[in-house]
Structures are given as C-alpha cells and as structure tokens.
A = this chain, B = another copy of it.
C-alpha cells in the first residue's frame, strides 16, 4: 500500500493555507527554507538513521553518537554550511551529544567572559574543534546554589599558576555534558583563593585530556556518571564526574573579562559592567523556550495524527468506528496542547526580540530593563518547560497502549525532554525569583517607579484591583482586551494579596519563606499573562495566507480559555470573574474545539516535520500506523530467535518440574 495517504481526508478538510502557516511557524520565509532544506538533508542520509536507538546497549549507543557527531562535522565542513545551517543540522540530528555543550555553553561562555586575547586564543581552536569543551559547574553536592560550590582555585604566586582542587567528595564535578568521555577542555567553576582570601566562584579553562592520546592529564580523575532516564534519550551524552588533585593551570586560564588576578596575586574587578553576563542568560533561556515549542509540537503532531487514525467504539450498523479525535474528552486534552505549542512558539519569537533589545541597551550602559527581563525569562523558562514535559506525557497517554511503545517516539521524547525542568535553573527556584521580583515591584509601587515591559500592567493597579469583567455571553470571551484585563487583574490581585500577607511578618525573609508556595502561584499567573499577551499581540500583526489568522485566533482562544478553566480557582477567588462567566468561557471553549477539529491534522502538518525527525510510527505522515508497527516489532533483538535464549536453562526445566537440580 506504499504511497497511500491514510490521512488524505483529514488534509482535504483543512480550511486554511498550510504552506503559509508553515512560514508563520518557522518565523520567516528564510527560516522556513533553511529548516526545510536541512531537515530533509538529515532525513535522507542513512548515516543519521535513529530507529535502532532504543535497542542499543549503552556503549554501542554512545559510539554511534560519536560517529554521527564526526559525520555531521564532516558534512558541515564539506557543504560549507553557515552557522545557522550547522546549528539546524545538529538540531535535526536529534541526539544529545557533546557538541551541544561545546557549541551551546563552552563557546558562548568564553565569548561572554573571556578577554579579547583569551577569546582569540581559545575560540579559534574551539571553532575548528581542535579542542572540545564542556561546562563544568554543578557538583555532587551543589547545583542550584552555585555560590556553594566547593572546588577551589588557589593562586600560587611562586609559579604564577592556579591550583585546581576537589577538597571533598561532594565537590566532585557531576553532570556536565560532554565531560565524561569526550571533552579535552572544560570551563571549570571554582572558588578563587589568592593571598589567603576567598573571592567567590569564578570560571577557569582547564585542559582535562591529552590532545595526543586522550588520556586524562595527571591529577584528573574523570568518567561517566551512568545511565539516565530512558533508553536512548540522554544516554547518548557522556554527562561526567570529575575530580582534581591539585591540578595546576597557568594564571591566564582564568576567564578575566570581569575580574582578574594580577601577577602578584591581587584580585581586581575590571571596569566592564558585570550586568553584561545577564545578556548570555537571556539568550540561553530564549533558546530553551524555543526548544519547548519544538518538543511540544512534536508530541502534539504525533498524538494528533494518531488520534485521527485510531478508531474506537461508536460503530453504527457495522460501519467504521469513531476516530478518537472526535471525542470531546480527547479534544479537551489534546487541542489545548496544540494551542500551547503555537503559544510558546510566539513567546519564543518575542524573547528573541527581547534579547536583541537587552543587548542593545547593555551596550549603551542602560541596565534599567534588566530586572524585568531577568524575571520574565526565568518565568517563561519555568512555565514552558514544565508545561511541555507534562504535555508530552499527556500526548503519550492520548495514544493509549501503543503510546507506551518506544516506536511511538513519545517515551524517548519525554525522557530526553524532562531535564529541561531542572537544568539551567530548577523550575521552582526560577518561580521563586519571579515571586521576589513581583513582591519588590508591589512594594515599590508607592514610590511611583516607572514600570515597563511585561510588568507595565502593575502601573494600572488601582484599576485592576476593582475592574469587573464585562463578559455576558460566550462570544464576549473572544474580545482580546477583555481577556487581557482579566488575566492582568488576576495576576495583579494575587501579587497584591501576597504582598499584604507578607507585610504581616516582622521578618520579611521569614514571611517570604512561609508563604513561598502561594507566591509561586502568583508568579505562575504573571507568566501566563505574558504568554497570553504575546499571543494576542502576534494576532494584531499582519499575517498573510488564506484562513491562517482565523486558525491562530481559534488557537489563541483555546489557549487562554483553557488556562482560565484550569486556574478557575484563581480567577474566582480574586473575584476577577463570576461562576457564570467561567461557565460561558467553557461553552466557548467547546465551540472552538469544534472549529479546530477539521483543521487539526493540517495544523500539525504546518510544523513541517520529517518522519525522521518525528521518529514516531504513530505520528508518521501517511498514517499507515498498523503495518509499520507490525513490521517494526520483528526487529527487536528478542525476535532474533523464535525460541528465546534461556529456554533450555529456565523455561523447560520449570515446565518439566526439573528445577530441583537446575543451576539458577
């Protein structure tokens, strides 16, 4: 049946121009073109095949990733790919690898924290991959609290060197990706000690392995930390452990852009403003939000296509059964996730703009927007990664039993995605930062401080504390300004109520600790407002393509009404809406589900994912799910023989009641 499109009916139903939507999703025609070309290049090259990934034992899996990384680098050079193309290629290879840390952390960090000379020296090596670097911050005993790291870097004026040392077991570096087996170098974070005094945690470039035979250098103990969640997933990555026994590095391996140690051991701040480091942080978090929309859209694509293929119950007179996507329960679980994928996409797009804006201001020594940008990116990092992790698992459940098979792609997608909730800032720690920012903002309102960006709404606090939602019938919930006001009022009222309760404590720190769980909810409300408002702003732009804007409007409606329903308790408790208005919102939500239903498959086609990237039989483009599942099963190593290995020793004696003498 090759060539048959089992989803053709669904595609014919679509009421909008899918090609135009593809460009909206990609962000621009150029971005679409690069993405489309590179994803096909990867998909069509058998060297990048990944279907056997979950069946490989760790060593084989890891070796295969080394091969792919080398092959990808060869291709990148042969085809003279641009930086943009090269990074897309690594993205579509779709396998965590040491190169992620080399390009994503090591290089940017040296760019951000190295002096000009340091950049010249190290980046020229790194760009050609003549050295491979990783980012060694976390230790066995310290992750979130970076200031608590225990590794030391003690300056020895006698030899003009730093001595890097791991004084305790808990000071062992633990987790850095690319460290365990591959990296030749690392940016190592350690407490700087000079002249008998400690100056806090700083970054140092440390060579770990010989460039000749890859053996660890003297004093360096290094290895892999072992298996992680899932089969393939992050097990293609050599997250590592690292201990130093008085390892000496030249003084100029300290990254000295912001501070330095002089030849005679004096510690000095440079005149480069430290705030510049936040630029990098905004950049990294923006990519995390982008990645969230990628992972989420992938899961949603699989669940949507399979829900259109899968039929269960409801057959009348022997006719075909109902497609499970037609069940309202299925829609009410799936479509909000589809809407979230689009919502996070646009939030990520806006964060790109924010990054440019922040960078320009920093260059002009304008630090005024930093606290707001910092809180906003911390919050969106937390919101989008948590939602995406949950959504992937929900998509898996939406596929019933078959979602539990690795060939569905969803178990691995979940396993590889979830650490995003933990790395680059634990999501609760992030929300606590947002909460602090909100409490500070409220407490400063009295002083008439000018509020800009995503916190500007707090400037209209008086109005927001008393406004009443005007919705009277379901369709009134389609009015963007009514919606925005309700989300603003909820966020503002929750913050104010938190601040009021804080003021009952004599010690504000104790109060913050005691109320922190509630304050985190206020932070979530603030972050949801940001995503909703960015989606609404997007719709105020000119968006070409027949029917495209209508679909996005429906998705935007689903997104905010779903949040409204899910957090109904917040909205009602703060009297932002009435029970009647909540119920009207739910009525409209159902209508929007029906509106999206005929467009669902086309809306996930717009992500333009190849079957290779998707890596899922349930989500395959042509919907020929059952034949592919059946064929794939036979490739499991267990099926190499009909009678399993172990039959003679363990099954036969059991059946024959001859276990008595068996060696087990």
Contacts and interface: CB of A to CB of B under 8 A. Distances in A.
A303 to B, nearest CB: 13
Contacts of A571: 569
A197 interface: no
Interface string A314-358: 010000010000011111110000000000000000000000000
Contacts of A635: 226
Given A238-B638, A638-B238, A145 B74 contact: no
A655 interface: yes
Contacts of A67: 646, 649-650, 664
B638 A230 contact: no
A249 to B, nearest CB: 20
Given A215-B643, A422-B401, A643-B213, A226 B632 contact: yes
A404 B226 contact: no
A55 interface: yes
Most buried by B among A140, A520, A574, A653: A140
B569 A520 contact: no
A624 to B, nearest CB: 11
Given A401-B422, A514-B328, A214 B411 contact: no
Given A148-B315, A182-B644, A638-B59, A664 B71 contact: yes
Nearest to A636: B226
A383 interface: no
Most buried by B among A211, A405, A520, A655: A655
B57 A57 contact: yes
A629 interface: yes
Contacts of A422: 397, 400-401, 403-404
A132 interface: yes
13 contacts: A55-B227, A56-B57, A143-B400, A143-B401, A144-B400, A148-B312, A169-B627, A223-B634, A226-B635, A238-B638, A400-B426, A568-B568, A573-B583
Given A169-B630, A568-B573, A573-B582, 15 more contacts: A47-B664, A57-B57, A62-B638, A63-B644, A63-B645, A70-B649, A143-B400, A145-B312, A169-B626, A214-B651, A223-B633, A227-B406, A397-B427, A517-B590, A574-B579
Interface of A: 47, 54-59, 62-63, 66-67, 69-71, 73-74, 77, 128-132, 138, 140-145, 148, 169-170, 172, 174-175, 180-182, 184, 211, 213-216, 223-231, 234, 238, 241, 311-313, 315, 321, 327-333, 393, 396-397, 400-401, 403-407, 411, 415, 418-419, 421-423, 426-428, 432, 513-518, 520, 565, 567-575, 579, 582-583, 586, 590, 626-627, 629-630, 632-640, 642-647, 649-655, 657, 659-660, 662, 664
